Structure 1
């Protein structure tokens, strides 16, 4: 597990690959984002933007979260405080996603000396190095000697 003392600005973390299957894309979409360009290949072909079935952006986020937890194992978990994100390109069936995380800022807490806000940029890429997602996230990271309240 990583503590505040273990990370510095410029540190990079790279995940394993995760393959998005057509079945998983449809299952996620039916449950959480039931739009035809996520659920029906035929209907998706006629869509003016996607021109084929695409994973929900939220599905891409969920996979990114899974990969974050594996490659960036922060003690006490990835406790988010803020995030912004973009999806520059759709995730397609068969895409093999990996994420790259870079620490861009560490801001010590003004009120609690056992933690800081760590800002990082995440980029999710497919097997062709096409960027599928980019986000800037802030999380709370604790020092090794933290005593949970």
Structure 2
């Protein structure tokens, strides 16, 4: 099993996820299109050159969030999660552009036993994504209901 059981997590653990990902124009346009997001910031290069401070399209923040959390799954929750309970404090302090490469780290910031299920507990993950120059581009807290190691 790639993911860790509830019992294997400890507050303060930090995972430096080995998967990195260069974001392409196709990633951004495809995600924006399939989610029916018509924002010119993601789709219209000419508009962005003329009317935005960045002068180019920026990567859809929904894609950034999904990629950041997705990269973390293999090392933390793959096969050991009962449910994703939600995302809190989602922030995007700097933009991503086509061609940027992100890396992700995850810190365990809280844990508690489930009040309703004896075979699981709730882990709070703090995910952080950085682009190639070390700039923090996204972070969020995510609560996961994690299964305990089978007896």
Instruction: Report the TM-score when normalising by structure 1.
Output: 0.88
**Residue equivalent to 2:80:** 76
Show CA shifts across 1:5-45 (max 9, x none): 21111111122210101222122222222211101211112
Counterpart CA distance in 1 for 2:53 and 2:76 is: 34
Change over 3 Å in CA distance of 1:78–1:53 after alignment to 2: farther
Tell me which moved more, 40-49 or 17-26. 40-49
Consecutive unaligned residues of structure 1, counting only runs of 5 or more, are: none
**Residue equivalent to 1:29:** 32
CA-based RMSD of the aligned residues comes to: 1.8
Q: Greater relative contact order (Cα 8 A, min sep 6): structure 1 or 2? A: 2
Consecutive unaligned residues of structure 2, counting only runs of 5 or more, are: none
Aligned pairs, how many? 146
Deviation at residue 74 of structure 1 after TM alignment? 4.0
* Alpha carbons 1:75, 1:141 under 8 Å: kept: no
**Residue equivalent to 1:56:** 60
The residue correspondences of 1:119-134 to structure 2 (distance < 5 A) are: 119-134=124-139
